[in-house]
């Protein structure tokens, strides 16, 4: 606005000066019709400029009516904060068991037998289990690898045993802990095994009622046959022992006598359990009526 006004004013001054000069020129000479017309035009222009200037001045004087900005207060819609209902996570899983106490890893130089993978402790996850011995070592060891945990056990009656290995696993009794069959002390013609269990970070050797580790033998010699059978229905292990009760004059067997014993498992202990109908019998013939094997139906 101000600069526009100044420009108009400057132009007006210019016109007035020209007019004054022209008027002077005109008054000192004879009237010239062309000059008279020009003067008239200039007067008109001057008038127009004056009117324009007046309009500008009026405009400048007009108070600027600042339309008040009606600040509509922001209607603050109250934010209804829905309370976050933190539903506690329903923990359906069993509380995590504390880790097992750490044990030394199996030495690098150890001789390690084939692993068996099975859910020994009934938690739904397979463990790895194997036997190992140090070169020239005295005893065999069992090792269970249960995720990040490990458990170890020295097989007490494996001294001098050529090979201790896992025969198999199965459920002898009616619980979730599997029974682990492992060859232990050896014999002249028999294979001996013990039964182990793994749970709560521990490898347990099952025992007899008297306390020492329970052990079974199977195998055969000329005159003795030992067979071990796991009862598929009951928590029993039966041992059949066949011996020659009568021989011919030249030494061939005529009658075999079979004696049966059985032990039942309660937790980690084996107790002798008799049979009402006995279990002993005799069989004729030169061949033994049983075979010297382990019949436990391992998978
Ligand atoms: Ca398991
Ligand atoms: Ca069991």
Q: Is the pLDDT of residue 282 over 70?
A: yes
Closest ligand to Cα 122:
1
pLDDT of residue 187: 74
Buried b (16+ CB within 10 A) or exposed e, 232-263: eeebbbbbbbbebeeeeeeeebeebebebbbb
pLDDT in tens, 203-256: 999 999 999 999 999 999 989 999 999 988 889 999 999 999 999 999 899 999
Residue 230 has phi, psi (to 5 degrees) of -85, 130
Q: Is the pLDDT of residue 125 over 70?
A: yes
Closest ligand to Cα 119:
1
**Where does the pLDDT of residue 263 fall: very low under 50, low under 70, confident under 90, or very high at 90 and above?**
very high
pLDDT of residue 218: 96
Phi and psi based region of residue 26 (left: phi greater than 0; alpha: psi -120 to 50; beta: remaining): alpha
Q: Ligand 2 centre from 219 Cα, in Å?
A: 25
d(CA 146, CA 154): 18
pLDDT of residue 239: 96
d(CA 194, CA 205): 7
**Per 3-state DSSP, what percentage of the chain is helix, strand, and coil (rounded to 5)?**
20, 35, 45
Closest ligand to Cα 129:
1
Across the range 121-128, mean pLDDT stands at: 97
- Bridge partners of 203, per DSSP, are 198
Q: Ligand 1 centre from 197 Cα, in Å?
A: 11
E-assigned strands of 161-280?
166-170, 179-186, 190-199, 202-205, 207-208, 216-220, 224-230, 236-247, 253-266, 269-272
d(CA 180, CA 77): 72
Identify the weakest region by mean pLDDT among 24-28, 44-48, 145-149: 24-28
Question: ∠ CA(95), CA(99), CA(100), 5° rounding?
Answer: 135
pLDDT of residue 130: 98
Q: Ligand 2 centre from 202 Cα, in Å?
A: 14
d(CA 262, CA 239): 6
Q: Ligand 2 centre from 142 Cα, in Å?
A: 18
pLDDT of residue 232: 80
Q: Ligand 2 centre from 240 Cα, in Å?
A: 23
Closest ligand to Cα 172:
2
Q: Is the pLDDT of residue 262 over 90?
A: yes
pLDDT of residue 21: 42
Closest ligand to Cα 117:
1
Closest ligand to Cα 268:
2
With H, G, I as helix, E, B as strand and everything else as coil, classify residue 58.
Answer: helix
Report the 10 Å Cβ neighbour count for 153: 18
Tell me whether strands 236-247 and 190-199 are parallel, antiparallel or unpaired: unpaired
pTM over 0.85: no
With H, G, I as helix, E, B as strand and everything else as coil, classify residue 154.
Answer: strand
Q: Ligand 2 centre from 227 Cα, in Å?
A: 22
Identify the weakest region by mean pLDDT among 85-89, 221-225, 284-288: 85-89
Q: Is the pLDDT of residue 87 over 70?
A: no
Closest ligand to Cα 118:
1
Q: Ligand 1 centre from 21 Cα, in Å?
A: 121
């Amino acid at each position: 606005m101000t600069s526009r006004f100044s420009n108009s004013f400057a132009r007006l001054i210019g016109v007035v000066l020209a007019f004054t000069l022209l008027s002077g020129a005109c008054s000192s000479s004879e009237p010239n019709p062309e000059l008279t017309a020009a003067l008239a035009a200039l007067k008109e222009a001057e008038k127009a400029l004056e009117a324009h200037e007046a309009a500008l001045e009026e405009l400048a004087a007009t108070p600027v009516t600042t339309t008040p900005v009606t600040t509509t207060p922001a209607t603050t819609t109250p934010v209804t904060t829905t309370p976050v209902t933190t539903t506690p996570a329903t923990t359906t899983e069993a509380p995590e068991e504390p880790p097992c106490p750490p044990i030394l890893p199996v030495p690098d130089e150890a001789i390690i037998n084939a692993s068996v993978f099975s859910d020994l402790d009934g938690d739904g996850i397979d463990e790895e289990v194997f036997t190992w011995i140090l070169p020239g070592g005295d005893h065999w060891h069992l090792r269970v690898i249960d995720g990040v945990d490990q458990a170890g056990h020295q097989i007490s009656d494996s001294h001098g045993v050529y090979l201790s290995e896992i025969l198999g696993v199965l459920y002898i009794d009616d619980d979730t802990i599997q029974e682990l069959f492992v060859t232990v002390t050896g014999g002249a013609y028999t294979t001996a095994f013990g039964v182990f269990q793994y749970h709560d970070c521990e490898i347990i050797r099952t025992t007899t009622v008297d306390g020492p580790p329970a052990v079974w033998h199977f195998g055969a010699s000329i005159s003795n046959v030992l067979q071990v059978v796991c009862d598929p229905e009951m928590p029993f292990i039966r041992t059949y022992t066949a011996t020659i009760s009568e021989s011919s004059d030249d030494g061939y067997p005529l009658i075999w006598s079979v004696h049966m014993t059985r032990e039942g498992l309660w937790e980690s202990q084996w107790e002798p359990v008799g049979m009402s109908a006995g279990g002993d019998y005799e069989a004729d013939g030169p061949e033994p009526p049983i075979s010297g094997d382990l019949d436990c139906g391992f998978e």
